[in-house]
Amino acid sequence: MASSVLRWVRVVVASLFVAGAPIAVAEYVLGHHALAEARVETRAMAERYLERAEAAIGEGLTLLRDLKNANSVTCTMVDRQAFGSSAFQSTYIQQIGLADPKGTLLCGEPMGSLEQPIRLPAAERGDPSVMVGVLSDGRDDRQTFVLVRVDEARRLVARINRSALEFVTGPDYLSAAQQVAVYLDDGSTWMRRSGTWKPEQEPDSIEETAISTRYPLRVSVTVSALAARQTVAPLRSIILIGSAFLGLMVFGWGAVLVARGANGGDVFTRAVANQEFVPFYQPVFDMFTGEIKGCEVLVRWQRPDGSMVPPGQFLPYAEATGLIRDITTQLMHQTVEDCSALYSRHRGLKLSINLTAMHFVDLRIVDEIREIYETSGIGYEQLCFEVTEQHPLKDLTLSRTIIQRIQALGAQVALDDVGTGHGGLAYLQKLGVDIIKIDKMFIDNISTDHSSQSIVETLVELGNQLGLGIIAEGVERVDQVEHLKGIGVSTAQGYLFAKPLPAAAYLELAHAMLGDGDAGGGADDEAIADDLFAAVDAPDQTDPKAAA
Ligand code: C2E
Ligand code: CA
Ligand code: CA
């Protein structure tokens, strides 16, 4: 229970990891990429604004120097006309005029006065005769001026057009989330512009600064990192969906593994490793004499909790995985442990072991049989190996060889479930078995159903002609016993006589029936044997549960 919860936890963790890892990596890589991209854009924007600001100042200075050189440095009509036409022809200059050292405009063209004197501490680098300054009304109305010193009393002044820096640059995704500011070195602000977005809204906004090498000028552009990240949103969605899909796949796969583990899978493999498979023994009898002839070994899975799983529930899995080979090996070892004493004492007793198609793909089974039984108390001539007809044998020639090798040891081979499976009579002919086991299916209706009757009779006749032994399986009723005896079948197993028994119960029964006085308790044993054959008249006395 706890381990299954643990397995589910592992599946969930693995799925989350598989889905989460690409998301985290994508988040990191895409985020980084988007931010780096935005940083480059922002830097380019800052440089564009700086270029424009420098161009405006540069144009102002050029015009003023030209006027100074042309000696247009008075407020006379002619000079004012020169101011006006210079300003008119310029790109960024709105007005040109003359100011006194305090900054008061003496005249200006086109006409216009200043509300305040122009105080301009800022100067062009390396030339104190050239100044740049901002005149602010304390609110948002700012004017930027360029000045050139004429003499002690006069300065030429160019007022830069407000619209000089009113342009939009940069990618669309940043247009609504940017702030542009142009500063002079004295701390004054030439221009500051932002939309609804403010850098204060985001702790990790992107800021790039461009500094002029020609003028006391600095541009700062700040953009939203969130807006930058937004550019990779579609890609992120794709990765998100892909990762979720991947995670789901891993989850599904894990769920299948866990489910398999729950009813087979690694639980089953562990059960094989833990040797949880035990042999039960179903006695085989001579119906004429009532003698016990031996038994068939039938596997049971004894779970650690004590429950007993019948073979129908795990054999298909054991066969599909090939684990049946290990299980059969374990069973054979266990039969040596359980039965050696009894079988060495009663050399006439037989022990039948079921093999599957998996055992007929190579010669390993022959070596195993030899290794396990050679030095055991069970002789080869006491062993019989059953080959079922129900699953086709891949390589009939190899199967025939394996059967011959088993027979060469002295053991017998029986064809199980004859008439119900694939092989039919061809198997009988090609495999060279010693015994045929007539399936319960035909025995069930032997006294009532005509076709069952003829099949059994045909099989018996065939067996006799080929010199094969015959065992009837699944005998449950007295009428079946009578019928089988009537057609000369003497050997049978079935619930009427005994169900598959745990080792101790089988040994006790066999000792009793064989009159092993010292192995059990003399008179008691005989009584058990008598009771057993009284069972032919009063069935179901040998319930393995009762026996166990
Ligand atoms: P099977 O080899 O034909 O074995 C006979 C089955 O019939 C056994 O079922 C047995 O308990 C049952 N049986 C015997 N007499 C009666 C009866 O009178 N009435 C009824 N209703 N059933 C009877 P079990 O033990 O459940 O085994 C089922 C099948 O599983 C076996 O059929 C055999 O094919 C396979 N099997 C069992 N043990 C092993 C094993 O160790 N190795 C392999 N390869 N297969 C095994
Ligand atoms: Ca069998
Ligand atoms: Ca059978």
For 16-46, write each residue's pLDDT tens digit. Answer: 887 788 788 878 888 888 889 989 999 999 9
Closest CA to 470 of 443, 507, 449: 443
- For residue 341, count CB atoms less than 10 angstroms from its CB and return exposed for 0-12, middle for 13-18, buried for 19 or more: middle
Task: Give yes or no for residue 508 CB within 6 A of ligand 1.
Answer: no
Rounded CA Rg of the chain: 52
Residues of the chain below pLDDT 70: 1-4, 112-129, 136-141, 258-265, 423, 518-548
Q: Which of 321, 354, 471 to mutate to test the pocket of ligand 1 (most atoms within 8 A of CB)?
A: 354
The angle subtended at Cα 347 by Cα 346 and Cα 348, nearest 5°, is: 90
Task: Give yes or no for residue 143 CB within 6 A of ligand 1.
Answer: no
What's the pLDDT score for residue 101? 76
Name the CATH superfamily, with its identifier, for domain 266-547. Answer: EAL domain (3.20.20.450)
Domain extent listing, the chain = 23-248, 266-547
What's the pLDDT score for residue 123? 40
> What is the distance, to the nearest Å, from the Cα of residue 159 to the centroid of all Cα atoms in its chain?
70
Q: For the chain, how many residues are written? A: 548
Quickly count helices (H) and strands (E) in the chain. 17, 19
Query: How far away, in angstroms, is 298 Cα from ligand 1 center?
Result: 6
What's the pLDDT score for residue 211? 95
What's the pLDDT score for residue 21? 82
Give the residue, by CA position, lying nearest to ligand 1 atom 45. 354
Query: How far away, in angstroms, is 440 Cα from ligand 1 center?
Result: 10
Task: Say which residues have a Cβ less than 8 Å from residue 262's Cβ, sequence separation at least 6.
Answer: 4
Q: Is the dihedral of CA 318, 319, 321, 324 positive or negative?
A: positive
Percent over 90 (pLDDT), the chain: 56
Q: Is there a contact between 117 and 139 (Cβ–Cβ < 8 Å)?
A: no
Same fold, 23-248 and 266-547: no
Task: Give yes or no for residue 316 CB within 6 A of ligand 1.
Answer: no
The angle subtended at Cα 201 by Cα 200 and Cα 206, nearest 5°, is: 70
Task: Give yes or no for residue 388 CB within 6 A of ligand 1.
Answer: yes
CATH class of 23-248: alpha beta
Q: Which two tokens stand for residue 272?
A: 């094989």
Tell me the pairing of strands 123-124 and 383-388: unpaired
Q: Which of 298, 324, 384 to mutate to test the pocket of ligand 1 (most atoms within 8 A of CB)?
A: 298
Give the residue, by CA position, lying nearest to ligand 1 atom 21. 474
Please tell me the number of Cα atoms within 13 Å of 110 on its side-chain side. 7
| CA distances to 326, 427, 436 from 393, in Å | 19, 9, 17
Task: Give yes or no for residue 382 CB within 6 A of ligand 1.
Answer: no
Task: Give yes or no for residue 352 CB within 6 A of ligand 1.
Answer: no
Q: Is there a contact between 497 and 506 (Cβ–Cβ < 8 Å)?
A: no
> What is the distance, to the nearest Å, from the Cα of residue 379 to the centroid of all Cα atoms in its chain?
52
Closest CA to 268 of 300, 301, 306: 301
Task: Give yes or no for residue 435 CB within 6 A of ligand 1.
Answer: no
Task: Give yes or no for residue 311 CB within 6 A of ligand 1.
Answer: yes
The angle subtended at Cα 447 by Cα 445 and Cα 449, nearest 5°, is: 55
Residue 500 pairs with which residues in a beta bridge? Answer: none
Please tell me the number of Cα atoms within 13 Å of 140 on its side-chain side. 4
The angle subtended at Cα 449 by Cα 443 and Cα 455, nearest 5°, is: 60
What's the pLDDT score for residue 235? 82
E strand residue ranges, 356-478: 383-388, 412-418, 435-438, 469-472
Q: Is 194 helix (H, G, I), strand (E, B) or coil?
A: strand
Closest CA to 498 of 328, 294, 289: 294
Task: Give yes or no for residue 515 CB within 6 A of ligand 1.
Answer: no
Residue 148 pairs with which residues in a beta bridge? Answer: 130, 156
**Predicted TM-score of the model (pTM):** 0.56
E strand residue ranges, 419-454: 435-438
Closest listed ligand to the CA of 357: 1
The angle subtended at Cα 86 by Cα 124 and Cα 121, nearest 5°, is: 25
Give the residue, by CA position, lying nearest to ligand 1 atom 41. 299
Which ranges constitute the DSSP H helices of 92-192? 172-175
